[in-house]
Amino acid sequence: MKTTENVRALAGGIARNVKQLRRNLSELDSQPGPDPIVPAGMMRAILRTLGRPIVCSECGRTMFVALPVVWRGQIWMIGAYGHLFHVTFASSERIEFRHAQLDECPAPSRPWVP
Amino acid sequence: MPRPEPAVGAVILTAIMTHLPPEQVRAQLDYLHALAPQSRFVVCHSGERGDFDRLDVPDAVFIDDPSMRGRDQDHSHNAIFTAVWERYARDDPAVSLVYFIEYDHLILSAEFEARLAALADRSPAGLFAKHAGPRNDTNWPHFARFRHDEPFNRFVAQLSRRDDPERRFGALGNGMLFRREALEAYCAVGEMPHAYVELVVPTVVYHLGFDVVDVDAISDLYAAVRWRPEYTVDEALAARAAGRVFVHPFKQLELLPTGQRAKSSTADSRG
């Protein structure tokens, strides 16, 4: 019984901390900074635990793994640095990504792309 | 000096951009002349002036542009384009295509001019390049870097013949193939605000009214051309065995065969 309460308390604490972190991030200055601004080791750890595959909307291949974070009117794609891609709105609430380098994006019109 | 007959119907001039010591440049030229004796190569040397003075090859020009000795992302090729245009192409109307390659763009086949000419036949574009295309809706760092650059934006807006003067293009800086008319128009623009070659060249060519085409969209010619990582010798040999015409980047130029060995290695790859 006590274990269950402890787990609930822990989960509640994590949720509060995440909420606070998001609030803090949203208050930070959003001036564009140099890319990438997260150290490489930390980046790998973040992406390994929290990253999501970003799939090309045209060919369906995974382009890279990233962690999208909403930050003061911007979406920070942690892990996107070094990967070139197009971004467009697919609907009023969905953004889609696709390869910008055609040699990575197979299509019937480009049978030479592996 | 009499010029050899062109290898294909279109006369192509290949300009090699290099900063290497003269011995290495001469060795590369030996390889290229043995591989493709009817092709015409021009050396654009942007390294040390002393190295250029010791180069002693007939078709070579020194590029006195400090940007070429700085960071990669500050390079401009405008001085190279202008020098090649004014010294080798402007007064020779037979030159219909001008091909700009970096020293580490390895030509593997004597057929390269025929393949470039065939590429140019597939589109009326003024510029063919790797990864060429619009960048406005991308995360390309050079687009983001110059997006709010007022002198550059003003320059493009004044120059543009397009309905969308804010459109920006990007392309790999190596392996740009210009149609004569596009290179002439580009060089006629004259002074430009300094901007990175991979942004300014395709953007200006587009706004001058020419199409800019991604080689990968219409051909497999650049299947073994990439930004990085470097090709190893084994990978380059595998590319040649697979029928590739170009490999980039390949920096182990000291391993290139010369003379008869270059010819026979080409024959092997055909056979």
According to DSSP, the residues that pair with A85 across neighbouring strands are A99
Query: Given this model, what pLDDT does residue B259 score?
Result: 63
A90 touches chain B (CB under 8 A): no
The answer to whether the Cβ–Cβ distance between B137 and A103 falls below 8 Å is no
Query: Given this model, what pLDDT does residue B8 score?
Result: 54
From the list A85, A86, A102, the residue facing B216 with the nearest CB is: A102
Q: What is the pTM of this model?
A: 0.86
pLDDT per residue as tens digits for the range A50-104: 999 999 999 999 999 999 999 889 999 989 988 999 999 999 999 999 999 999 9
Which residues, 6+ apart, have CB-to-CB distance to B143 below 8 Å? B135, B136, B168, B170, B199
What is the enclosing helix (H) or strand (E) of B74?
Answer: none
A17-21, A36-40, B106-110, B243-247: the lowest-pLDDT one: A17-21
Residues B127 and B52: beta-carbon distance below 8 Å: no
Model confidence band, residue A24 (pLDDT cutoffs 50, 70, 90): very low
On average, the pLDDT of chain A sits at 82
The answer to whether the Cβ–Cβ distance between B223 and A85 falls below 8 Å is no
Query: Given this model, what pLDDT does residue B2 score?
Result: 43
Strands B60-62, B40-45: pairing is parallel
Query: Given this model, what pLDDT does residue A32 score?
Result: 45
Sites in chain B below the pLDDT cut of 70: 1-9, 258-271
Query: Given this model, what pLDDT does residue A18 score?
Result: 63
For chain A, give the percent of residues with pLDDT over 70.
Answer: 77
A35 touches chain B (CB under 8 A): yes
Query: Given this model, what pLDDT does residue A31 score?
Result: 39
Query: Given this model, what pLDDT does residue A17 score?
Result: 63
Query: Given this model, what pLDDT does residue B10 score?
Result: 79
Best probe of the B interface among A76, A81, A102, A109, by most B CBs < 10 A, is A102
Query: Distance between CA A60 and CA A49 in Å, rounded?
Result: 23
Task: State the DSSP string of chain A.
Answer: -HHHHHHHHHHHHHHHHHHHHHHHHHHS------S--S-HHHHHHHHHHH-EEEE-TTT--EEEEEEEEEETTEEEEET-TT--EEEEESSSS-EEEEESSGGGS-BTTBTT--
Query: Distance between CA A64 and CA B25 in Å, rounded?
Result: 39
